[in-house]
Structure 1
Amino acid sequence: MAGNSQHRADSESASPSAQKRANPNALELGPRKKPTTQDPLVHHGRHFGRAVHSFCNVQTLLTNGIITMGEDEDIESLPTVERREHTVFRELLRMVPGLEARLMASAEDEVIHIADLIQKGANGARADDTKGMKSAIIDWITPKGQSLNPHIPRNVKSGRGFNHERTGALLCPAGLDWNNTDTRSKLISGQIQVAGDQWPVFLYANYTYDPEDPWNGLLRSGLLVSAFKHIFTSPSSVDQEPKATRSGNARLHGMRCITKASLAYVATQARFSLTSAQVFSRTDLVTDSERFYTTILELLEDPDEKDEVDQLLVWWNRQVFPLFADLERMPSKDSALARIKQKREEYRERAISMSVGAQD
């Protein structure tokens, strides 16, 4: 009997109804799950890859940077590549609070761990942006009220690149004529291999390239503006007028103005989204993404191109960061502000005149 009683008890405890009663009430919220925490270095790494340098070996950057730490006064004597590398390293130190002190106090294995976390953030952000833009860019390249023919699926890339009339025209290298039948067939067949430094026409305003003035409209296309907003402000901001407040990734990382690297990064992401390539890889010689990114960044950092680049950055800030753009606005004529500035200048001139008279 005792055995039978025990058997019945075991059966009851194993029955579904008994198990259900043993679990928390399904109509109650239950205990709060512990929030997952992410190392802040991963967070900073995401912005570093987007806005400072995308194709960076962070471990090598930190190792070399530690060696040259404290030698800023000798940087100008370094070769161009090393000088650029040091500039990127200093920018990383600036954007990550306490990183310099942490590196100086860390053993080699800890430096490697720090580099891995930053690299993880940069790689993760790039993967997220590649995935998100693959779908969104179809909306941007489809004329308002029309449809693409043939249709391009939002999550399939095989029909893109030079395989499609629309994406092929946008990816056609500036200086080549997509409407030329021979040129088009060679691009489609691969007889014409497009290197990373052969920039596509979609980088230009209205997708128009002027060989006599190659700076005209460069990096000012509406497609690039949409791509930048999608990544740095928010996907929903693409079809809206610029707002005075920052949001999205720019806000999370305190980004108040355009950076040269962020512009090169967005152009690289947009270009890859238009291609038929399935996987974003820095070593892919077909898309040649790393070379594409590097050549744009080198142009933007070229001291000889400073005037054009400064104008370009002001233009971009007006598009994306209107509240923080340095527009150098003059006060309205006959306004109170204009009168205050005029009176201040008159006072300054009288003071200088009296000072000169006293010396005479």
Structure 2
Amino acid sequence: AHSRTCNDLESGKLPMTAEDLPAFLWSGERPGDDYNPENKLSCLFKSYYLVHVAQHIFLGSSSALGGDSHATRSCNVVLHDMSSVDAEHIAYTCIQARFSVVSKSTWSEKDSIFSYLKFYRTIVSLILDATDKRWRNELLKWWNMYVVCSSQAFTCSANKLLEGNYLVMKMDAKMPTPAVRRLLPQVPVPPQCV
């Protein structure tokens, strides 16, 4: 059934519109494994893939891949003075995630009948206008925990933070090296949806 669905999507027999949320938006060992038809909001926007796309966009590719930073400039979070993840950031991440898995090589507002603008607005509206305010607040808290470090500043690069932040540099001078390392945020791998 899975391969037939994929074939139908590829051939256009099964049209995909902006209101049809792709499986990769839900967490799970495989994208969408944690989808619950009884509670569609459960685990929505909590996939491993989305977190890594967000880290790539906002923190840089080395943050998303877990390697040492070789950045030649500050990450987007620093450049845009971001202190938290909002619904719009999640929607932008979803757009970039979807674009990265389609066969298009150039960006356009539409991919056949799929409108990226409508997809963006659907996601922002779904989050901001959620009747379950607890779900919305927990989702934003979750994203901030896994994309933003606990001190509400993104982790572009430990070295960049130490070089560019006078307060942290003063703390560094007063503290032993292991203590400084414990203060530097580590980008955790998100757990399975709870």
User: Given the alignment, which residue of 22, 31, 52 partners 1:200?
Assistant: 22
**2:50 and 2:94 in contact (8 A); partners too:** yes
Contact 2:17–2:115 (CA under 8 A) maintained in structure 1: yes
Structure 1 segment 46-65 matched on structure 2, within 5 A: none
Match of 2:42 among 203, 216, 226: 216
| Alignment match, 2:2 | 178
After superposition, give the CA deviation of every residue in 1:168-198 in whole Å (9 maximum; x if it has no partner).
xxxxxxxxx524x3x3332221111111110
Q: Map of 1:69-218 to 2, 5 A cutoff?
A: 178-179=2-3, 181=4, 183-206=5-28, 207=31, 208=33, 209-218=35-44
Aligned match of 1:236 = 62
Answer yes or no: is 1:264 the counterpart of 2:91.
yes
Deviations 1:285-309 (A, max 9, x none): 4332111111111111105232111
Matched, 1:290 2:117: yes
Conservation of the 8 A alpha-carbon contact between 1:256 and 1:324: no
**Aligned partners of 1:239 and 1:284: how far apart in 2?**
28
Change (3 A) 1:273 1:287: farther
Q: CA–CA distance in 1 between the matches of 2:149 and 2:6? A: 40
| Structure 1: runs of 5+ lacking an equivalent | 1-176, 242-246, 326-360
Q: Compare the two structures and name the one with the higher helix fraction.
A: 1
Number of matched pairs = 142
- Check whether the contact 2:130–2:136 (CA below 8 A) recurs between aligned residues: no
Greater radius of gyration (CA): 1
Give me the whole-angstrom Cα distance separating, in 1, the residues matched to 2:6 and 2:57. 31
Structure 2 contact 50–97 (Cα < 8 Å) conserved:
yes
Determine if contact 2:59/2:77 at 8 Å carries over to the other structure: yes
> Structure with the greater relative contact order (CA < 8 A, sep ≥ 6): 1 or 2?
2
1:318 has 2:145 as partner: yes
Q: Give the counterpart letter for 1:191 in structure 2.
A: K
Preserved contact between residue 230 and residue 237 of structure 1 (Cα < 8 Å):
yes
Distance in 2 between residues matched to 1:290 and 1:316, nearest whole Å: 22
Give the TM-score normalised by structure 1. 0.37
Contiguous gaps of at least 5 residues in structure 2? 68-73, 153-194
* Matched-pair contact (CA < 8 Å) for 1:299–1:305: no
Q: 1:306 to 1:286 in 2, by over 3 A?
A: same
Tell me, yes or no, if the aligned pair for 1:257 and 1:324 is still in contact at 8 Å.
Answer: no
The 1:184–1:233 alpha-carbon spacing in structure 2 relative to 1, beyond 3 Å, is closer
1:204 Cα deviation after fit: 0.6
1:324 Cα deviation from its structure 2 partner: 3.0
- How high is the TM-score relative to the length of structure 2? 0.67
Residue pair 2:16, 2:113 contacting (<8 A) in 1 also: yes
Give me the CA root mean square deviation: 1.8
Q: Is the 8 A contact 2:59 2:75 kept in 1?
A: yes
- Alpha-carbon offset, residue 235 of structure 1: 1.0
One-letter amino acid of the structure 2 residue matched with residue 178 of structure 1? H
Cα 1:318–1:193 change in 2 (3 A) is same
Corresponding residue of 2:126: 299
| Distance (Å, rounded) in 2 between the aligned partners of 1:187 and 1:292 | 17
Contact 1:229/1:238 (<8 A) preserved: yes
Conservation of the 8 A alpha-carbon contact between 1:317 and 1:324: no
